[in-house]
Chains A and B, each alone.
Chain A
């Protein structure tokens, strides 16, 4: 068996008249993992990952056209994505004619694999797809279009930043320059470039001896495909489960390039790896292999119909209504398994039922977040029933309005118990689980614009939210080494039922009810739906954003607090209740 996994078997596959060099390892009766390398590499860039996976998989690699021992097409047309996609299917058909293969790809290999993965009916030949550092060019075309059409400051900055990352692509389109650079010494210098810029230690057998030739051929990949795909992107969807491994220190592909990828690949799992563009494969091969092994082993089941056992796990506290329910639904819509808890069990169960409509597994529990022991037990229960969560949203909170002198001890205690202690308990119980598990994760804490916007009538509420804000800042620093992100969400006026349960100091029951109705009406008139906050929460998790003010008033207050804190303090005197 050992011999089988280390021995590399060479064969040649014909793809439309072009000979592709294919390398097989491992037991062919095991699941087939097909690896596609990028530019300017050849199959040897996968050596570490392949050796690790070959123990219990049938590992297949090939040199893409123009590289290594494979044939090179005559002209630029021979490098079009359609042909590259066909190469992948040709190899898959040759090495695993009866069963679909699991594709793993990096850089340009990933770009061309997207072509195959998004081909109609691809799920018959491709069981799963793990992609690193190579977006689908059509998706990228839409990504750019969307940002050009809505040039918000965030979008413009993303465009500019990705533009800076892509400097070399422009260079590759110039005649003479790039090929000459490779021929005149860049190929020789390559190990040094990798060492200095990519944190890859030089090693024997790498880079491949054919590097200069491969690199020059490969320039045609850019010239043949970049412009047409970006200028006229095609709508390319896929039903294949996709695992996106984002490399945190990638100099070429920015993290935010994958924003909205769920639109094209709804069965998406996101992972992050602290690595550079090449150190992921050449230094952290076993880590990548572990991620692939886990993804391949998942039972992806029938398409979308059965609730999936795998997939991201998200926990939402206070998930029975408002922002909590909307957040649970937003994650479920992206294929995540969702567990909600709430004091109101029927409401939590209702949310879980709605989540299940997206074809995901979901659960509902009755928990009072202010009860530390109950939260600890809840975390244990979730770990036992579902596993360790990838995302925890500490959302449960209550509203209270009253000046400092009006607010009674009892009211202070209630507000702090739920709004602050609820978050502390949630972070502690689930944070510890995530740290012990060692797979990273994300904590989302719901603060409020009141966290930095003082008001004399929100003494207790604003204090509790401000504490959540600072708690999150401290926790973020502590959990960073464990790859656990922490996001603070600061919504302004959002139309949820929090106003219908908000209490007011110094008012009798009738006055309370009248006030609740009035404030609810005001919030309803503002009309900002919880779904939009939920979308921001999902985005914060995907991009790892630290502090996210939501609604224009929350953003304006944050800005004003920087420009003129004195003015905010003055504004706090207004009786806004």
Chain B
């Protein structure tokens, strides 16, 4: 048995990373397709169905979790009391509303988990949030590169949220997580079957990881508590800062690569990063 606290070597090679990048691109591509199609009158269920169809058409066999869509104040998880409320409902999109699409396709065991925020029509609050979201992407990378413990990074994000005057909305996720580890799923359960919104294979893999990491004094779930008081584990992390102001919430979710000494975002060619670059160009 390994000594407690000793970090495992980075488990992926370049080929693996290329595969993860490909799945993440595919997921964002499908989200963008749905975003282009979405319009006032569409319900959350219709949006998730559309998202699922486009993912399956692109060759996705299984899902880490079922696709989610949140409209209006549900993007900020207002009035959420039970986890069941995360599932897509009958909320209808109206002019000026923000929305968030969240999906996690699995291809050949390679998993992506992405979050895409958008709006229909005019919404100045959303514009501001979308612009400020950039700060969190930079902050998280900076903190992880400095090899601060994950609970310290979580606290730094919280402090930034307070300074901005926003709400931490990722604390509403089960376990209050801002992120979770992603590995190559090798489980043998039936693909495409899900339990409580999570794929059966996901649950197998996640369960195994929880036990394994627990033994190492680490957690595959990244939150603000004692379980995350450890340096970033080498591997891939799906990171999802989710901020809200009043009735508007926004998030991004993408894969962060943590190596033994360094960290970087797996891919910079993503819709939100392109949007910031565009704004910078016009500013």
Asked if A and B bind, the verdict is yes
Q: Which residues of A contact B (CB under 8 A)?
A: 321, 325, 329, 333, 347, 350-351, 353-354, 357, 359, 497
4 closest A-B pairs by beta carbon, nearest first, are A357-B125, A354-B165, A357-B124, A325-B165
B245 interface hit (Cβ, 8 Å) = yes
- A329–B124 Cα distance when bound, in Å, is 15
Selected contact of A350 from candidates B124, B125, B165, CB within 8 Å: B165
- A373–B124 Cα distance when bound, in Å, is 38
Contacts of B125 in A (CB 8 A): 357
Selected contact of B162 from candidates A321, A353, A354, CB within 8 Å: A321
B246 interface hit (Cβ, 8 Å) = yes
B81 interface hit (Cβ, 8 Å) = no
Contacts of B128 in A (CB 8 A): 353-354, 357
- Encode contact with A along B127-149: 1 for CB under 8 Å, 0 otherwise: 01000000000000000000000
- Contact between B162 and A497, CB atoms less than 8 A apart: yes
**8 A Cβ contacts from B158-212 to A:** 162-165
Contacts of B245 in A (CB 8 A): 354, 357
What count of chain B residues pass the 8 Å CB interface test?
A: 9
Tell me how far the C-beta of B99 lies from the nearest C-beta in chain A, rounded to whole angstroms: 19
Contacts of A350 in B (CB 8 A): 163-165
**8 A Cβ contacts from B224-239 to A:** none
Contacts of B163 in A (CB 8 A): 347, 350
Nearest residue in A to B165 (C-beta to C-beta)? A354
Q: A350-B164, A351-B165, A357-B128 are in contact. List 16 more A-B contacts (CB 8 A).
A: A321-B162, A325-B165, A329-B165, A333-B246, A347-B163, A350-B163, A350-B165, A353-B128, A354-B128, A354-B165, A354-B245, A357-B124, A357-B125, A357-B245, A359-B124, A497-B162
Pairs across A and B, CB under 8 Å, 13 listed: A321-B162, A329-B165, A333-B246, A347-B163, A350-B163, A351-B165, A353-B128, A354-B128, A354-B165, A357-B124, A357-B125, A357-B128, A359-B124
- A321–B164 Cα distance when bound, in Å, is 9
Tell me how far the C-beta of B204 lies from the nearest C-beta in chain A, rounded to whole angstroms: 35
Contacts of B164 in A (CB 8 A): 350
Tell me how far the C-beta of A483 lies from the nearest C-beta in chain B, rounded to whole angstroms: 32
- A351–B163 Cα distance when bound, in Å, is 10
Contacts of A329 in B (CB 8 A): 165
- A329–B245 Cα distance when bound, in Å, is 11
Contacts of B162 in A (CB 8 A): 321, 497
Nearest residue in B to A350 (C-beta to C-beta)? B165
- A347–B159 Cα distance when bound, in Å, is 13
- A350–B163 Cα distance when bound, in Å, is 8
Tell me how far the C-beta of A336 lies from the nearest C-beta in chain B, rounded to whole angstroms: 16
- A325–B163 Cα distance when bound, in Å, is 10
- A350–B166 Cα distance when bound, in Å, is 11
Contacts of A325 in B (CB 8 A): 165
Tell me how far the C-beta of A318 lies from the nearest C-beta in chain B, rounded to whole angstroms: 14
Nearest residue in B to A353 (C-beta to C-beta)? B128
Contacts of B165 in A (CB 8 A): 325, 329, 350-351, 354
Nearest residue in B to A357 (C-beta to C-beta)? B125
- A321–B163 Cα distance when bound, in Å, is 8
- A359–B125 Cα distance when bound, in Å, is 10
Q: Which of A329, A351, A354, A497 has the most chain B CB within a 10 Å cutoff?
A: A354
Tell me how far the C-beta of B275 lies from the nearest C-beta in chain A, rounded to whole angstroms: 19
- Encode contact with A along B23-55: 1 for CB under 8 Å, 0 otherwise: 000000000000000000000000000000000
- A354–B163 Cα distance when bound, in Å, is 12
- A357–B130 Cα distance when bound, in Å, is 13
Tell me how far the C-beta of A515 lies from the nearest C-beta in chain B, rounded to whole angstroms: 17
Nearest residue in A to B246 (C-beta to C-beta)? A333
- Encode contact with A along B228-269: 1 for CB under 8 Å, 0 otherwise: 000000000000000001100000000000000000000000
Contacts of A351 in B (CB 8 A): 165
Tell me how far the C-beta of B236 lies from the nearest C-beta in chain A, rounded to whole angstroms: 31
- A347–B245 Cα distance when bound, in Å, is 16
- A357–B132 Cα distance when bound, in Å, is 14
- A377–B164 Cα distance when bound, in Å, is 28
- A321–B246 Cα distance when bound, in Å, is 16
- A350–B162 Cα distance when bound, in Å, is 11
Nearest residue in B to A329 (C-beta to C-beta)? B165
Nearest residue in A to B162 (C-beta to C-beta)? A497
Nearest residue in A to B127 (C-beta to C-beta)? A357
Contacts of A353 in B (CB 8 A): 128
- A351–B162 Cα distance when bound, in Å, is 11
- A424–B138 Cα distance when bound, in Å, is 43
Contacts of A347 in B (CB 8 A): 163
Contacts of B124 in A (CB 8 A): 357, 359
Tell me how far the C-beta of B50 lies from the nearest C-beta in chain A, rounded to whole angstroms: 31
Contacts of B246 in A (CB 8 A): 333
Tell me how far the C-beta of A37 lies from the nearest C-beta in chain B, rounded to whole angstroms: 39
- A497–B128 Cα distance when bound, in Å, is 23
Contacts of A333 in B (CB 8 A): 246
Contacts of A321 in B (CB 8 A): 162
- A357–B165 Cα distance when bound, in Å, is 12
Nearest residue in B to A354 (C-beta to C-beta)? B165
Nearest residue in A to B166 (C-beta to C-beta)? A354
- A357–B245 Cα distance when bound, in Å, is 10
Tell me how far the C-beta of B158 lies from the nearest C-beta in chain A, rounded to whole angstroms: 9
- A497–B164 Cα distance when bound, in Å, is 13
- A350–B160 Cα distance when bound, in Å, is 12
Q: Which of A329, A351, A353, A357 has the most chain B CB within a 10 Å cutoff?
A: A357
- A321–B165 Cα distance when bound, in Å, is 8
- A501–B162 Cα distance when bound, in Å, is 15
Tell me how far the C-beta of B9 lies from the nearest C-beta in chain A, rounded to whole angstroms: 35
Contacts of A497 in B (CB 8 A): 162
- A332–B176 Cα distance when bound, in Å, is 30
Nearest residue in B to A524 (C-beta to C-beta)? B158
Q: Which of B124, B128, B165 has the most chain A CB within a 10 Å cutoff?
A: B165
Nearest residue in B to A305 (C-beta to C-beta)? B122
Nearest residue in B to A529 (C-beta to C-beta)? B167
Contacts of A354 in B (CB 8 A): 128, 165, 245
- A333–B125 Cα distance when bound, in Å, is 12
Nearest residue in B to A497 (C-beta to C-beta)? B162
- A359–B165 Cα distance when bound, in Å, is 17
Nearest residue in A to B122 (C-beta to C-beta)? A305
